[in-house]
Structure 1
């Protein structure tokens, strides 16, 4: 890897593939069962609600990316909104960590589906081991550079979007278009809280934002790629959610929440469908992880170059991006080993929603007129994020207060860490313009 960002190295289809690759990898295979556990029989509609909230949020990112396309993506948005401050640096790290958390979520999902292919226990200690192996593979692919990532993303995205859509349609056809997952109650708080996880299933669109400097014609294509990725994913998610709900009752979906799609394929499509679904899961999660590592590495490198976070070489050869790639896979590997899927998803939701609110507030207060944005859209995005975050926090405090405490303490430590760093390392703003 070199220190130069290669302009025009990612086409519009490549950017769409990158976004859908991250979203579908985490969203449909890792989160469907967890969303059903919170939302009850209405869990397919949680994906619709998540898409609506994401659409309001995406408006801010599209407007900012059209005005200031950058390889730093969200880091640049935050710096434009807040300057080189603790708020900007802390929120940027929250975003970065939420993406790394998503990588560990995808890695564990890959491990779970691999174990299920051989009839093993999804709680086996081999699950995190397999997940770490996938993370190492993602590292090796990313070492090859952005063109390799873009080409691989396109190939794998076409395979998995087409395959998963066929799975959804085949499952609905086999079940006679009857919805079986009706045996449960839907609580308003549970449904709203489930939207926090649905949002995670769409947050991969930020991968496109973080690669803005390398996308062809970024002032136009970044926004188009985001919109297309969200539209493609919501269609695929609905097909699959209704297919799962048509094949299994709700209690079985919840019992198999870490591998719900594989279990739903067996009654609907037989043993062959079961193995084909597992293969799709492995392709989807692998490509999603590769695309996410690509984006996180560049975001960390840009934050380093903007002097918003510290950097240490630790005696390693190469440049900043080589080092941030290693940091990314090491942290993702650690989370994969020590956290289960439910807690990984919860921590990612906390970090992402808080960061998202901070971005909207900053853009609304300081950049709304400059980027010609509609203020009411930004305010709506803030309100929707806040409602979902409160509901999710309340529900998690009742069921797993430890993960709430870990989330709060983690965010506090992040802001203290960057605050101390910035106070000790003042830098003239005019020396670091990375639009």
Structure 2
């Protein structure tokens, strides 16, 4: 072992840090994180990880979809989705406080159930679900960018911008990954400021009648609206990946989970109330793909529309950039564990080129072939399944993590029921999305089983994932 000044290196020159989520959204400051001790991640740092992960591109992408389903009850839909996120955050908080690890979700599942076909499938689903979020963010980038470019954008322009939002970040990650870290903190701060301005200034334009119970659809649509946009909350799980670097995991991580989720619930409820309360539902439906920018116009005028549009471009582009950065490294780790083909392990200039290219290519297909609602449904279903598994992990480890088993089961029941509700709604209203969910999930299961048998490779998962080379 030698020291490079930034942490230890193994004899082959690779970093001994566990690794795959050392990415901007999981670490907004972009610097190399410390270990336990005075320079480690504290409560505020961990909160920044959670808030930066949640308030990525999701709210820009899914707000219009939520309004289409829930109408005047959209704030309630966001609150319901947030309550499930909060229950699951409690499971993550207890698991992270007791078993801090850079592996996060992957390590919790392995610790509870062992490294087998079940956990391997869920790990692949985690990678795939993040891949789908890349497509979601790119779709939002295309929608906002095209609308800023011209009032009547062509489909060609829309898809060109979608493709650019994936191809350029792939190139950045291959050529200059450090750029991801250096810029992310500024974009996180900028988008939060813009969203807070919209939420505060927009209150003066709210017509309470537009939020009244008379504007609410039936309860199943309100509930389903919350489940479809659940992907906007998934980022809190990234706090778990700071476990190894937390100053005091037992004291710093639980408050960070709770505070970050509660803050984002309040922000999303406020933004959705401003959107629904400021505009007729017909106008929101017409501007569904850029609803948040349209909602800023009544209070802030054309400048507000442009301000939110630019913030959306920065936010969604940086979210694509950061997720490619992290998901490429997650694919590398899963390949090292024997869960993905060796192609994903290939490195050039000490970067996981195979994993990054594969991630970008698949995201490019999804973003250009599916509409934003289908993408949001697939992503939300994936994370609800993953969070159900994590809640079951908390139930199985309840005694060691000092969590009441009944609460862990309640959390698993809530996320599992939300998943079932989403599937039932999707089977009626968007059967293509349901087919894609079934295909992708079966693909993870069958692919994992067949690849293990054909390749002869064995699971090598331990408490922490294998190390990812430092690409800086």
Fold-level match, TM-score > 0.5? yes
Match of 1:388 in 2: 418
Secondary structure of 1:25's aligned partner: coil
Match of 2:228 in 1: 197
Distance 1:14 1:325, change over 3 A: farther
Is 1:14–1:151's contact at 8 Å kept on the other side of the alignment?
A: no
Matched, 1:360 2:391: yes
The alpha carbon displacement at 1:143 in A equals 5.1
Q: Residues of 1 paired with 2:227 and 2:143: CA distance?
A: 23
Q: Residues of 2 paired with 1:151 and 1:58: CA distance?
A: 28
Match of 1:408 in 2: 438
Match of 1:421 in 2: 451
Q: Residues of 2 paired with 1:70 and 1:326: CA distance?
A: 27
The alpha carbon displacement at 1:372 in A equals 2.1
Matched, 1:236 2:262: no
Secondary structure of 2:398's aligned partner: coil
The alpha carbon displacement at 1:133 in A equals 1.9
Is 2:73–2:215's contact at 8 Å kept on the other side of the alignment?
A: no
The alpha carbon displacement at 1:385 in A equals 1.4
Secondary structure of 2:155's aligned partner: coil
Q: Residues of 2 paired with 1:150 and 1:220: CA distance?
A: 27
The alpha carbon displacement at 1:85 in A equals 0.8
Per the normalisation by structure 1, the TM-score is 0.89
Match of 1:97 in 2: 128
Distance 1:131 1:428, change over 3 A: closer
Q: Residues of 2 paired with 1:119 and 1:42: CA distance?
A: 31
Structure 1 stretch displaced more, 24-33 or 141-150:
141-150
1:381-408 residue CA offsets vs partner (Å, 9 max, x unmatched): 1111122222222221111212111211
Is 1:14–1:150's contact at 8 Å kept on the other side of the alignment?
A: no
Q: Residues of 1 paired with 2:366 and 2:14: CA distance?
A: 28
Distance 1:154 1:224, change over 3 A: farther
Is 2:344–2:355's contact at 8 Å kept on the other side of the alignment?
A: no
Is 2:116–2:459's contact at 8 Å kept on the other side of the alignment?
A: no
Is 1:16–1:229's contact at 8 Å kept on the other side of the alignment?
A: yes
The alpha carbon displacement at 1:313 in A equals 5.5
How many residues are matched? 432
Match of 1:19 in 2: 50
Match of 1:339 in 2: 370
Q: Residues of 2 paired with 1:357 and 1:123: CA distance?
A: 41
Match of 1:307 in 2: 338
Structure 1 stretch displaced more, 201-210 or 80-89:
201-210
Is 1:210–1:295's contact at 8 Å kept on the other side of the alignment?
A: no
Matched, 1:375 2:405: yes
Match of 1:227 in 2: 258
Distance 1:109 1:397, change over 3 A: same
Q: Give the root-mean-square deviation of aligned CA atoms.
A: 2.9
The alpha carbon displacement at 1:41 in A equals 1.2
Matched, 1:117 2:143: no
The alpha carbon displacement at 1:147 in A equals 6.7
Is 2:135–2:367's contact at 8 Å kept on the other side of the alignment?
A: yes
1:134-164 residue CA offsets vs partner (Å, 9 max, x unmatched): 2234335545888754553322111111111
Structure 1 stretch displaced more, 216-225 or 195-204:
216-225
The alpha carbon displacement at 1:251 in A equals 2.5
The alpha carbon displacement at 1:220 in A equals 4.8
Q: Residues of 2 paired with 1:153 and 1:32: CA distance?
A: 23
The alpha carbon displacement at 1:113 in A equals 0.4
Q: Residues of 2 paired with 1:146 and 1:63: CA distance?
A: 33
Match of 2:80 in 1: 49
Is 1:25–1:286's contact at 8 Å kept on the other side of the alignment?
A: no
Structure 1 stretch displaced more, 251-260 or 178-187:
178-187
Is 1:46–1:191's contact at 8 Å kept on the other side of the alignment?
A: yes
Structure 1 stretch displaced more, 178-187 or 231-240:
178-187
Q: Residues of 1 paired with 2:178 and 2:193: CA distance?
A: 23
Distance 1:315 1:197, change over 3 A: closer
Secondary structure of 1:97's aligned partner: helix
Unaligned runs of 5+ in 1: none
Q: Residues of 2 paired with 1:143 and 1:214: CA distance?
A: 26
Per the normalisation by structure 2, the TM-score is 0.82
Match of 1:260 in 2: 291
